[in-house]
Chains A and B, each alone.
Chain A
Amino acid sequence: MRNVSFVRSEMLAEQTPPLTSIGVIGWTRENLFNGWFNSILTIISLYIVYSFLSFLIPWVLTPTWKATSLNECREINTALTGHHSGACWGVITERWPQFIFGFYDRSILWRPILVFVLFLATIAPILFERVPRKLFLLGPVFPFLAVWLLWGGSIWSPIFSFLGLVLGYLVWRSLKERVNAVILLLSSIGVPIIWWMFLTEPASGLLAEMIPYEIQVLPSRDFGGLLLSLTIGLTAIFCSLPIGIFLALGRQSDLLIVKVLCVWFIEFIRGVPLITLLFVASTLLNIFMPPGTNFDIIMRVVIMVTLFSSAYMAEVVRGGLAGLDSGQYEAANALGFSYWKAQRLIIMPQALKISIPGIVSNFIGVLKDTTLVSVIGLFDPIGLTTVVLADMRWNGVYWELNVFVALCFFVFCFSMSRYSMYLERKLRKEN
């Protein structure tokens, strides 16, 4: 008969792994020379990387930063290597302010720079927990301050526009306990809109006559370069997330009309190319406006880009909502949370966390899509390259300009991407 009985008399002690499977040697073996086929692949890849870099590095490292024309670059490069292939960086030295600020008046560049610094201060408490919470107070003020600093004009228009926000808050606070959620939402959004449409301009005009204080006005056509891209891109990014959330919730709503409107909006916007919307913004929109109204072109573009990205945002958020267990809604209901409180405290924190990768790639997409405005005659960095190329001295420096523009965008897009990874890591640590 077979004996199956076994009793362990003592437990085994832990041992260290063999040397060849840990440390540098272990890593190299595991990842680069794991079998003869992989070793050959590694060597071939190394050769490809080497030949690419041996072309790229000499091209990049040319002492042409002080050249004032393409011909001068070529002379410098020929003197150095015998042939004139090599980057011509003089154009960047000369034109970089234009790529960043467009045609913005050079004497008041402190204004956009200040706006950028304020912007960083405004988003810092949203991005990082350790930043003093008091900076949140900048949030509601910043948009009005930024518009005023960028476009200039009387100090009274941003103040009165800001008052609209205060008004909305007051309406919300006084009605909060008395009316139902829909009326509350409509009235606390509607009152400020009426204020902005009919009262802001006359009121601020009146005060501007009595106590005039204004800074130099800059027309929208002077905006350009990264300043333009960031103005459009960042505004669209920050507006599209909340709009997208509401659209996603609307799409799942039990209220038929809300649901149908949201679905149609999302599907229409997603079915239409952004360029079409931009053309509508630049040409058609004025036809629908009452004659005489001058609706700023950048404002129109911002609205279109925002609508465009919020439709995509809505679908990303909907994906996050779908990833949640229905038990979360039930638990929230059973504990007595109202719909909005449940969304805010329980559903959205989880749904948005799931959607972080999608949301951030959407953000990145929006920022890069702003380069499409060159099609309707605005001078974003891509649009500016044609301006520079029109200069006889620089005619022919395509690569350097595009590399520079690419780098500018890369800085912003890559930081967003890194931030999202940081955020995901941080939130994963939490549970």
Chain B
Amino acid sequence: MAKLSKEKLARAEMLSSNEDAIAISEMNKWFGSFHVLRDINLSVKRGERIVVAGPSGSGKSTLIRCVNRLEEHQSGKIVVDGTELTSDLKNIDKVRSEVGMVFQHFNLFPHLTILENCTLAPLWVRKTPKKEADEIAMGFLEKVKIPEQADKYPGQLSGGQQQRVAIARSLCMRPRIMLFDEPTSALDPEMIKEVLDTMIELADDGMTMIVVSHEMGFARQVADRVIFMDEGQIVEQNEPEEFFNNPQSERTKLFLSQILGH
């Protein structure tokens, strides 16, 4: 236990010396007249792993979708890798090419094979030569342990395999930050583990990650910080140990008792 916390301490020290990968300050967002994100302040260090939890409708998905501009924020500031997100299309393109995203429902392209899914963006957005793109894609498919499925179509794969392909597809663009929007909540229990294992491996490689998830085991094992959101606000954030063992706010306690209670 002592050794573990020493490791953690070293890691925390290392992180604090890193520069910010994402810096969000005083950010607000509305859907129509509904105030969905309220005064969000959050900075993510390079290499840091953050798990965002909270009840549905608390704005956690919207938060990470703002980071790569799938949603537009109305006030405040979001800086990703030194680039501020404004309506400037060039900045948006730049940020999107740095940030990979994995969705709850995988969102693979059903009309393309697994390999084509992985090479499409490198070929057309990055203008990588075909041979090189294929090699990169096969490399990442091996990393997520499904190179043998390369010529199949997404519809022929299980949910867990599809989600791993989706991760590989994002990685093919060589992102420096990965966003995960409830990556396991559409999966059968038997398949959750294979996806989490892939994500853990990715974390071990030093990827900066923000994961919206209710997988508390994953949060304990991997996260540097757990953020709890409710009603569009960050209610509590802490290291996983402290967050789970010693939650401060009543709302967090209630939430934890509900998801850990059975």
Give chain A's interface residues, CB within 8 Å of chain B. 325, 327-328, 330-331, 333-338, 341, 345-346, 349-350, 353, 427, 430-431
Q: How many residues belonging to B are interface residues under a CB distance threshold of 8 Å?
A: 28
Contact A336–B111 (Cβ < 8 Å) = no
- Contact residues in B for A330 (Cβ distance below 8 Å): 70, 101, 103, 107
| Interface residue ranges of B149-176 to A (CB < 8 Å) | 153-156, 169-170, 173
Contact A337–B121 (Cβ < 8 Å) = yes
Closest residue on chain A to residue B69 by CB atoms = A333
Contact A335–B110 (Cβ < 8 Å) = no
**Closest chain B CB from A347 CB (angstroms):** 10
**Closest chain B CB from A133 CB (angstroms):** 16
Q: Looking at the complex, which one of B96, B107, B153, B155 makes contact with A336 (CB distance below 8 Å)?
A: B96
**Any A CB within 8 A of the CB of B100:** yes
Indicate the member of A325, A327, A336, A346 with the most B CB atoms within 10 Å.
Answer: A336
Interface contact tally, CB-CB below 8 A:
66
A-B contact pairs, 13 of them (CB 8 A): A327-B107, A328-B109, A330-B70, A330-B103, A333-B70, A335-B125, A335-B170, A336-B93, A336-B96, A337-B125, A350-B110, A430-B111, A430-B153
Closest residue on chain A to residue B117 by CB atoms = A331
- Contact residues in A for B106 (Cβ distance below 8 Å): 327
Contact B107–A325 (Cβ < 8 Å) = yes
**Any A CB within 8 A of the CB of B22:** no
Q: How far is the CA of A56 from the CA of B153 in the complex (A)?
A: 50
Closest residue on chain B to residue A334 by CB atoms = B101
Contact A335–B169 (Cβ < 8 Å) = yes
Q: Looking at the complex, which one of B105, B109, B110, B125 makes contact with A341 (CB distance below 8 Å)?
A: B125
Indicate the member of B120, B153, B156 with the most A CB atoms within 10 Å.
Answer: B120
Q: How far is the CA of A336 from the CA of B126 in the complex (A)?
A: 9
- Contact residues in B for A338 (Cβ distance below 8 Å): 93
Contact A345–B107 (Cβ < 8 Å) = no
Q: Looking at the complex, which one of A334, A430, A431 makes contact with B96 (CB distance below 8 Å)?
A: A334
Q: How far is the CA of A331 from the CA of B111 in the complex (A)?
A: 14
Q: How far is the CA of A59 from the CA of B179 in the complex (A)?
A: 74
- Contact residues in A for B105 (Cβ distance below 8 Å): 325, 327
Q: How far is the CA of A338 from the CA of B153 in the complex (A)?
A: 24
Q: Looking at the complex, which one of A327, A337, A341, A353 makes contact with B111 (CB distance below 8 Å)?
A: A353
Q: How far is the CA of A390 from the CA of B120 in the complex (A)?
A: 63
- Contact residues in B for A431 (Cβ distance below 8 Å): 110-111, 153-156
**Closest chain A CB from B37 CB (angstroms):** 18
Closest residue on chain A to residue B109 by CB atoms = A346
Contact B121–A349 (Cβ < 8 Å) = no
